[in-house]
Amino acid sequence: MDTTSLSPPSSPDTLTDRDVMLSIAREVIEARAARDGYTPGAYDAKHDPEGYVTSLVNALHQWCARYRIDWEKELIRAQGFFEQDLAESEPETVSLPLPTIQELQCPACGNREAFVIEVSECLVLFRDGTVLHGDPGEQWGDWSYCRCHACDHAGTVYQFRTINQAEGEVQSNG
Ligand SMILES: [Zn+2]
């Protein structure tokens, strides 16, 4: 009996976040193509000859400008999620331990003293104005928005970890 049988490559319960994102991308590209008269399934979304990816990025940029959503911040957060999905879809990737503030360094100016980091925290909010802090407290990680307090260079915490920066990339020396 063959004990090395392989499971199907994409059964529904093994969909990664990356698979879901790719499926969403196909849907919106095909929706954009339908606007130009393509019948469902007729457009070559993989090669995008009409440039609908550019059109959709522009559409999202217009949306953010119209409704005062911070476009630059959205791009940075999207990059963080992209890197996270990519890492999770490659099982051989060794995950790093959680970041600490002591190991962060600005990849642009070399600052190590202070960073603006977006943290999340679950609070219990009562009708009378009382606020209770949740047990886990403030949480942040590799994919959190991070901005240098010295030069305003922005990215994700992952990009600010010295372990992820190439030797000699930062000009300052200690
Ligand atoms: Zn900096």
In-domain check, residue 8: no
**57 CB neighbour count, 10 Å cutoff:** 11
Q: How many domains does the chain have?
A: 2
In-domain check, residue 51: yes
In-domain check, residue 5: no
In-domain check, residue 173: no
From ligand 1's centre to the CA of 137, what distance in Å?
A: 27
For residue range 142-152, what is the model confidence (pLDDT) as tens digits? 888 899 999 99
Q: How far is residue 65's CA from residue 58's CA, in Å, rounded to a whole number?
A: 10
Six token digits for residue 52: 């609908």
- Domain C-terminal end among 69, 90, 112: 69
Q: What is the largest CA-CA distance in the chain?
A: 67
From ligand 1's centre to the CA of 61, what distance in Å?
A: 26
Q: Are 63 and 110 part of one and the same domain?
A: no
Q: Is the per-residue pLDDT at 174 higher than 60?
A: no
From ligand 1's centre to the CA of 149, what distance in Å?
A: 7
Q: In angstroms, what is the C-alpha Rg of the chain?
A: 21
Q: How far is residue 163's CA from residue 7's CA, in Å, rounded to a whole number?
A: 36
From ligand 1's centre to the CA of 84, what distance in Å?
A: 23
In-domain check, residue 148: yes
In-domain check, residue 157: yes
From ligand 1's centre to the CA of 65, what distance in Å?
A: 27
* Residue 127 belongs to domain spanning: 101-164
% helix / strand / coil in the chain, to the nearest 5?
A: 35, 10, 50
In-domain check, residue 75: no
For residue range 18-55, what is the model confidence (pLDDT) as tens digits? 899 999 999 999 999 999 999 988 999 998 999 999 99
From ligand 1's centre to the CA of 24, what distance in Å?
A: 35
From ligand 1's centre to the CA of 150, what distance in Å?
A: 5
Torsion of CA 87, 92, 98, 101, to 10 degrees: -70
Q: How far is residue 174's CA from residue 168's CA, in Å, rounded to a whole number?
A: 12
From ligand 1's centre to the CA of 145, what distance in Å?
A: 14
In-domain check, residue 135: yes
Q: Are 22 and 63 part of one and the same domain?
A: yes
- Domain C-terminal end among 49, 69, 89: 69
Kindly report whether the global pTM for this prediction surpasses the value 0.75. no
From ligand 1's centre to the CA of 80, what distance in Å?
A: 18
- Domain C-terminal end among 69, 93, 110: 69
Q: Where are the beta strands (DSSP E) in the chain?
A: 115-117, 123-125, 131-133, 145-148, 154-156
